[in-house]
């Protein structure tokens, strides 16, 4: 590797939006002579890309910063930076509260990063972003640089922010109001990724992508389902996914897109959060349990075999045991492939912090453990049902444990380890002959010339 280069480590917390932003941070610093690294000790710059959705995010950040004090002190030219949602929430105060921190910047100031790093390197200043407002235009970052990307999958952001104001959630406060990226920019970026970077699978990204242009639509801009159909037509794109879906926004046009366009893959991350109508109402989710299950049934009718994944919160203020069991029963009714489960945690500034009936932490944890046990059994039995079937698998590379075994994904987003000879990015047929707790096993079906 080039020893002249300076190294930047971006440590990512939180959601795919942050993953995506972290990649962009590295890309933005490349023209300054940086390369990305995973090794803290060899890094010249460390950026913590933070998340504030979970409990005690601020304290966790300060303890992480404490652990980096020595690293920072070892070399005066090093730069320690904090970005992401905690930075957005705390702003310039962070610099006052942590003396060995060099740089803080908000979630919409990525484009300023190269300039800020240059100024610090030149003058040893401590720099805060000059602008903390949430952007009110989708002033999109420079499109990705022309370098080979790793793998065959890429995320493409189609919106930022969120307008839903679920009562437990901090995201609308840190990320601001929803803003939709113009469709042509999205299409251009997907086309560029497919044509120049060997990408054949794209996930369109945003907090509630199905809300894309549903309200306040600019003239000529498509709604989400039409956007999907337009992106799906890009030549060379084999698989199209999106996340996160918002249940209330599922309409006939989305069902139709699933019916007619096979490039749209049979998997949706569509968080339900709770199985109880009373809790859903308190959460301000905007749907009842019955409305949710009807929409999921309609989606599965439009695309047989559709797999669903979800986010769940247990221990919401006032959640009774019976209401918790309604959440358990919706898991059993829908049979999600997997769920991200969370014990409710108070986020300062959100409405739910003032709700009555706060549950003790041990009770929240007990519910979480119970729920995870139920879900694990569902995941295991869904995977076991795949045994004996054949599945189209997109090859990701060698498997983690054994370089002779390949790893890939089914259309339903299930991971498969399989014996085969295919190249990364190839689509192959795999016969599934085993299932673990989270992955499938199989063997590539070889097609022999007659």
Residues that bind ligand F3S (CB under 6 A): 14-15, 17-18, 51-53, 84-85, 170-171, 174-175
Angle at 245 between CA 322 and CA 276, to 5 degrees: 10
Measure the CA–CA gap between 193 and 154, rounded to whole angstroms.
8
By C-beta, is 284 or 372 nearer to ligand SF4? Answer: 284
Q: One symbol per residue from 41 to 60: x for binding ligand SAH (CB under 6 A), - otherwise; what is it?
A: ------------x-------
Nearest one of 255, 166, 156 to 197, comparing CA atoms: 156
Nearer to ligand SAH, 44 or 346 (CB): 346
The answer to whether the peptide bond before residue 244 is cis (omega within 30 degrees of 0) is yes
317-376 residues near ligand SAH, rule: CB under 6 A:
342, 344-345, 347
**Smaller CB separation from ligand SF4, 352 or 396:** 352
For position 384 contacting ligand SAH by CB under 6 A, the verdict is no
Q: Does 168 interact with ligand SAH (rule: CB under 6 A)?
A: yes
Q: Locate 354 and state its tokens.
A: 């003032």
17 binds, among ligand SF4, ligand F3S, ligand SAH, none (CB under 5 to 8 A by kind): ligand F3S
Instruction: Give the residue, chosen from 294, 311, 363, 426, that forms a contact with ligand SAH under the rule CB under 6 A.
Output: 311
For the bound state, the minimum distance from the C-beta of residue 404 to ligand F3S, rounded and expressed in Å, comes to 37
- Kind and range of the H or E run holding 445: none
Binding-site partner at residue 87 among ligand SF4, ligand F3S, ligand SAH, none, CB < 5 to 8 Å by type: none
Q: How far apart are the first and last CA of the chain?
A: 47
**Going residue by residue from 221 to 260, which x/- string records binding to ligand SAH, judged by CB under 6 A?**
-----------------------x-x--------------
DSSP string for 179-241 = EEPPHHHHHHHHHHHHHHH---EEEEE-TTGGGTTTSSPPTT---HHHHHHHHHTSTT--EEE
Binders of ligand SAH among 261-280, rule CB under 6 A? Answer: 271, 273
Burial class of 99 by CB neighbour count within 10 A (0 to 12, 13 to 18, 19+):
exposed
> Minimal distance in Å, beta carbon 207 to ligand SF4?
4
Taking CB within 5 to 8 Å according to partner kind, which of ligand SF4, ligand SAH, ligand F3S, none is near residue 85? ligand F3S
**Per-residue binding letters, 136-165, with ligand SF4 (x by CB under 6 A):** --------------------------x-xx
Residues 167-206 that bind ligand SF4 (CB under 6 A): 169, 171-172
CA distance 48 to 312: 26
CB closer to ligand SF4, 57 vs 386: 57
The residues, ordered by sequence, that sit 6+ positions from 222 with a Cβ below 8 Å of its Cβ are 183, 213, 230
Nearer Cβ to ligand F3S (51/339)? 51
Q: With the C-alpha atoms ordered 403, 409, 414, 418, is the resulting torsion angle positive or negative?
A: negative
Question: Edge-to-edge strand order for the sheet containing 201-205?
Answer: 153-157, 201-205, 239-243
Contacted entry of ligand SF4, ligand SAH, ligand F3S, none for residue 345, CB cut-off 5 to 8 Å set by kind: ligand SAH
By CB under 6 A, how many residues form the interface with ligand SF4? 10
- Subset of 242-271 contacting ligand SF4 (CB under 6 A): 246
Nearer to ligand SAH, 130 or 320 (CB): 320
* Residue 407 DSSP SS3: strand
Angle separating helix axes 321-334 and 289-302, nearest 10 degrees: 10
Place of tokens 């075999």: 305
Q: How far is the CB of 132 from ligand SAH (least distance, A)?
A: 21
Rounded least distance, CB 244 to ligand SF4, Å = 7
For residue 85, which phi and psi values (nearest 5 degrees)? -75, -35
Site for ligand SAH contains 204 (CB under 6 A): no
Sheet holding 34-36, edge to edge: 34-36, 6-12, 45-50, 79-83, 103-104, 127-128
Contact residues toward ligand SF4 (CB under 6 A) are 162, 164-166, 169, 171-172, 207-208, 246
Contact residues toward ligand SAH (CB under 6 A) are 53, 168-169, 171, 207-208, 244, 246, 271, 273, 311, 313, 342, 344-345, 347
């Amino acid at each position: 590797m080039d020893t002249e280069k300076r190294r930047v480590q971006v440590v990512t917390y939180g959601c795919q939006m942050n993953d995506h932003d972290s990649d962009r941070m590295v890309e933005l610093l490349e023209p300054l002579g940086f390369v990305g690294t995973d090794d803290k000790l060899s890094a010249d710059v460390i950026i913590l890309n933070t998340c504030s959705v979970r409990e005690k995010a601020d304290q966790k950040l300060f303890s992480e910063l404490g652990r980096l004090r020595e690293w920072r002190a070892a070399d005066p030219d090093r730069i320690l930076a904090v970005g992401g949602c905690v930075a957005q929430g705390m702003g310039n105060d962070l610099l006052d509260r942590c003396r060995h921190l060099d740089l803080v910047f908000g979630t919409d100031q990525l484009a300023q990063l190269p300039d800020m790093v240059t100024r610090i390197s030149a003058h040893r200043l401590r720099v805060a972003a000059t602008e903390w407002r949430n952007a009110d235009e989708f002033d999109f970052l420079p499109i990705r640089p022309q370098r080979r990307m790793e793998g065959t999958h890429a995320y493409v952001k189609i919106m930022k922010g969120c307008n839903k104001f679920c009562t437990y959630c901090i995201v609308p406060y840190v990320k601001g109001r929803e803003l939709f990226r113009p469709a042509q920019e999205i299409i251009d970026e997907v086309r560029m990724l497919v044509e120049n970077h060997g990408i054949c699978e794209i996930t369109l990204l945003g907090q509630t992508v199905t809300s894309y242009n549903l309200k306040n639509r600019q003239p000529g801009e498509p709604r989400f389902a039409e956007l999907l159909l337009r992106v799906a037509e890009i030549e060379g794109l084999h698989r199209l996914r999106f996340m996160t879906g918002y249940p209330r926004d599922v309409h006939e046009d989305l069902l139709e897109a699933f019916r007619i366009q096979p490039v749209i893959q049979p998997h949706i991350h569509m968080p339900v959060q709770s199985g109880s109508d009373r809790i859903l109402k308190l959460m301000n989710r905007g749907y009842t349990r019955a409305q949710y299950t009807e929409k999921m049934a309609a989606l599965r009718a439009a695309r047989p075999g559709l797999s669903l994944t979800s986010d769940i919160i247990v221990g919401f203020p006032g959640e009774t045991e019976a209401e918790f069991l309604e959440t358990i029963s919706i898991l059993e009714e829908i049979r999600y492939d997997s769920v991200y489960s969370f014990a409710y945690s108070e986020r300062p500034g959100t409405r739910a912090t003032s709700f009555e009936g706060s549950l003790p932490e041990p009770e929240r944890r007990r519910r979480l453990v119970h729920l995870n046990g139920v879900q694990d059994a569902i995941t295991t039995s869904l995977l076991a049902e795949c045994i004996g079937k054949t599945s189209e698998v997109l090859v990701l590379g060698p498997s983690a444990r054994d370089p002779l075994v390949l790893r890939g994904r089914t259309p339903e987003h299930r991971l498969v380890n399989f014996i085969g000879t295919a190249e990364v990015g190839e689509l192959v047929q795999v016969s599934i002959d085993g299932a673990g707790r989270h992955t499938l096993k199989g063997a590539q079906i070889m097609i022999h010339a007659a």
